[in-house]
Structure 1
Amino acid sequence: MPKKRPADERAGGRASKIPSRRRKHLYLVLDDWERGYSIRKLDLSSDSDSDDVDEANGPDGRTGTELRLPPAVFRLEAPRAHSGLFAAFGTMIVATQLTPRGTIPMFDVRTRALTFGPRQEGQPNPCCTDFVQVGDNLYFIDDSCFMMLDPPPPPPKFAHPYIQIDWTWRGLPVPPFDDCPVSYAVHPDGRTIFFSTQGQTKKHTEVATFTFDTVCSQWTRHGAWRLPFRGRGYFDCELNAWVGLSGQPDNLGHLCTCEVVSADANTTDGHPPPTCKLSKEKLFCVDPAEKHIGATLVYIGGRSKFCLVQCIATDDRKGGVWEEVLPECLCYLYRVTTFSLKYDMNGDLRTVHHRLRSYRLPKIATEYCDHLEKPVAFWM
């Protein structure tokens, strides 16, 4: 009997010529180690954890099962309690706080390799720091400086094995504002970053939005308005808009979309405020037995697919009053919700296809509030 050929051979070898696309995962950075942090990888595919995950018809649905966090893929020894000092670009997760070696560790989630980059001049302010990825470069901005992390060039073909080509921080033109950005987004042109501020600037005292052209290395003022997000906004090609968590206190827990503003500023007063829309649903918890602590929105691509990582506190006592709950009686969870966005027939912004998972945080991960109020999550 003739032997069966492998499937790729039966297809004329075509399958072997098609490069396999690496499936992305959600990476959480947790402050759950007595000497530093751990990085954990979550599989958000539809068939993952299918026995333990409940499907919900809306954002108010809850999972009936608390899942265990997966084991750490990497542990980092570094000063704790600073979630704002982690960044990601490409396949790298970067910890910008100083380690005992005086360098910044960079963990490659694809190769599971660790490398070290140069430390920045001065210590970043964890309360006023934003990292923005544009192409293969990472940009760092706070209330005192603006820099870019330059990757090393490819090594020469016949380089000596002991010659090391390092990463470098490159200083950029100082921003035309003195306070920290409250929101930012990358333009779909792949070269322009929008930053919004609310407060004192070097020439203006009102709310304002500025752009930085990463090719020309030039700042431009775009008008006396701000992007409607709290933190980062993501460009979604299906909606042709930026998407983010609403930055208005009255709309806490709602998503908003913002039309993409032209990167060209050819008028004296800049561009008028962009048109924005608010989602009908509130994504944050509404159960009276739960309390919202913090949340992070992550864009996971596809057809307007997003992931919300929300930290909530629960009181399992029947009839418990939040004001009377002792800290040791609280249980903290990371609720991970994946969903899609679309405009309905009336043009209203809706969230659909929700899928929820809840992960109980270990007690050590709740010692500092920073990672609870600002969950660190990356889609890579």
Structure 2
Amino acid sequence: MAAAPRSFSSSAFTSSLTTGTGGYSIRKVKLPLPCKSGDRASESERAEKRLPNPFWRYKADRECPQYFTSAFGTKIMGMHHNDSGIVLMIDVRTRSVVLGPRTNYPAFPIYFPVGVDKLFALDSACLELCRLPLVRPDSDSDSGSSSTDETESDSDSESDSYGKWLWRQLQVPPFCTRDVASYAVHSDGQSQSILVSVKGEETVATFTFDMGKFVWECLGEWTLPFTGPGHFDRKLKALVGLSKDPEAFGYLYACNVPSAGDRPCPAPAWKCSKEKVFSELPADRHVSANLIYMENRRKYCLVECVWVEEDNACQVKIKEDKADQVLLEKSEADQRGRHMYRLMTFSLKYDKKDDLRVKCGRVRYYEVPNTVSAESIREDPVAFWL
């Protein structure tokens, strides 16, 4: 049975899995607390648990996890195609649903949530911005005052934008979005920018989009060292992301923020972690992974899907009241292992030698329901911390 991947989030984590009838199940998963000592926890300390019951069920086309994103504080959005053209935004804190507009026929979107009021969507030959609906000012408010939000709203094509969800078309990106290799959002309190590295047949470069000026610039003919999304760590003053290159597979890169001076700027310095964050157990085979940054705690969580080889071929059935939580018994010939979600929480620090070290790791495993298809499992887990 075809099934779509999962998505995690929240004060715990939220996981999204398809049910037998199609669609996704959103779940909150409690994270393993980092150990208090300065050392990494041993993989032998791992604890195995069942996934919790669904927090919410979301009906949409399966095999399309790329249309999920977090945005506007504690909301999860599904941008899947539908006849109504309306997006359901699920607030995981209030357990409520808000309706909003979806982007114009998303194809291969990359989403950039910024703060609690902005969502940028980078897609095929376009960049769009969605903002929280504007609140109409009181009549007795100071009409002479202005803000960044008011200035931006005045330039929108629709003047009557109060109380409406609107997408705004921005400058077309100067690269093919299918060639995007890595990306991140950087905010230093004074300015905000989106960084995108591309690796194509004709272009190998890194570009920046200034969120204040709404313009793209080429930083130089180099790329960020990590693969996929990166996270700005204020304590390290660096962009942190996973390495999926063969020579450093499963390690972390911490890359200095590119210079804001003259263009083009030189490639920023970076460091590779001394420790590997992917599982190193002989029985675990890596399948996919996603790195989540818990900014308010200055911690990280790696969500890794692994194939665990089993010594005992026959697996015990786990009975739950939900259809997608049943792992069926299989014959010895068919069952040689199982897929597991491996959650590892940890912190990153520079040591006295200025080496990048993984500290206070704690690992927990969750069983992957058998309704999740092989195609879905091979995709990186969609995960959020809200």
TM-score range, shorter chain: 0.7 to 0.9
Decide whether the 8 Å contact of 1:82 with 1:371 is kept in 2: no
Cα offset for 1:116? 2.2
> Of 109, 112, 124, which residue of structure 2 is paired with 1:132?
112
Displacement after TM superposition at 1:357 (Å):
1.1
How is 1:296-315 mapped onto 2 (pairs within 5 angstroms)? Answer: 296-302=290-296, 304-315=298-309
Say which is worse superposed, 106-115 or 274-283, in terms of deviation: 106-115
Q: Deviations over 1:56-85 (max 9, x none)?
A: 953661444311112211110101112211
Alignment deviations for residues 337-367 of structure 1 (CA, whole Å, 9 cap, x no partner) = 0001111222111101111111101111x22
Counterpart of 2:89 in structure 1 is: 106
Aligned partner of 2:375 in structure 1 is 369
Q: Letter of the aligned partner of 1:72 in structure 2?
A: P
Whether the aligned pair in 1 keeps the contact of 2:273 and 2:357 (CA below 8 Å) is: yes
Distance 1:60 1:326 in 2: 32
SS in structure 2 opposite 1:208?
Answer: strand
- Whole-angstrom distance in 1 between the partners of 2:48 and 2:250: 22
Q: Which amino acid aligns with 1:176?
A: P
The letter for the 2-side match of 1:376 is: V
For 1:31 and 1:251, how far apart are their aligned partners in 2?
Answer: 33
Q: Alpha-carbon deviation of 1:174?
A: 0.4
Determine the C-alpha separation between the residues in 2 that align with 1:138 and 1:235. Answer: 17
2:199 match: 198
**What RMSD over aligned residues (CA atoms) do the two structures have, in Å?**
2.8
Take 1:318 and 1:303, find their aligned partners in 2: how far apart are those partners? Answer: 40
Alignment of 1:1-380 (within 5 A): 24-44=11-31, 46=33, 58=40, 61-89=43-71, 90-99=73-82, 101-122=84-105, 124-125=106-107, 128-135=108-115, 136-154=117-135, 165-180=163-178, 181-189=180-188, 190-200=191-201, 205-264=202-261, 266-267=262-263, 270-302=264-296, 304-317=298-311, 329-364=336-371, 366-380=372-386
Percent identical among aligned pairs is 38
Q: Which residue of 2 aligns with 1:50?
A: none
Instruction: Provide structure 2 residue ranges, at least 5 long, that are not aligned to the other structure.
Output: 1-9, 140-160, 314-331
2:357 partner SS: strand
> Which ranges in structure 1 are unaligned for 5 or more consecutive residues?
1-22, 48-52, 320-324
Q: Is 2:32–2:344's contact at 8 Å kept on the other side of the alignment?
A: no
Aligned length: 333
Asked whether the equivalents of residues 182 and 231 of structure 1 are also in contact (C-alpha less than 8 Å), the reply is yes
Indicate the SS of the match to 1:244.
strand
Cα offset, 1:114, TM superposition = 1.0
Asked if structure 1 preserves the Cα contact closer than 8 Å seen for 2:133 and 2:162, the reply is: no
> Is this contact kept in 2: 1:211–1:263, CA < 8 A?
no
Could you tell which deviates more after superposition, 147-156 or 346-355? Answer: 147-156
2:112 and 2:171 map into 1 onto residues whose CA distance is 16
Q: Distance in 1 between matches of 2:385 and 2:279?
A: 23
Alignment CA distance shift 1:258-1:56 (3 Å): closer
User: What letter matches 1:41 in structure 2?
Assistant: K
Residues 56 and 355, structure 1, Cα contact 8 Å, conserved in 2: no
Q: Aligned-pair distance for 1:281?
A: 1.0
Normalised to the residue count of structure 2, the TM-score between the two structures is: 0.79
Q: CA separation of 1:299/1:98 partners in 2, compared to 1, >3 Å: closer, same or farther? A: same
- How big is each residue's C-alpha offset from its partner over 1:143-191, in whole Å with a ceiling of 9 and x where there is no partner? 3321111221126779xxxx99331221111000124321111122352
TM-score by length of 1: 0.80
**Relative CO higher for 1 or 2, CA cutoff 8 Å, sep ≥ 6?**
2
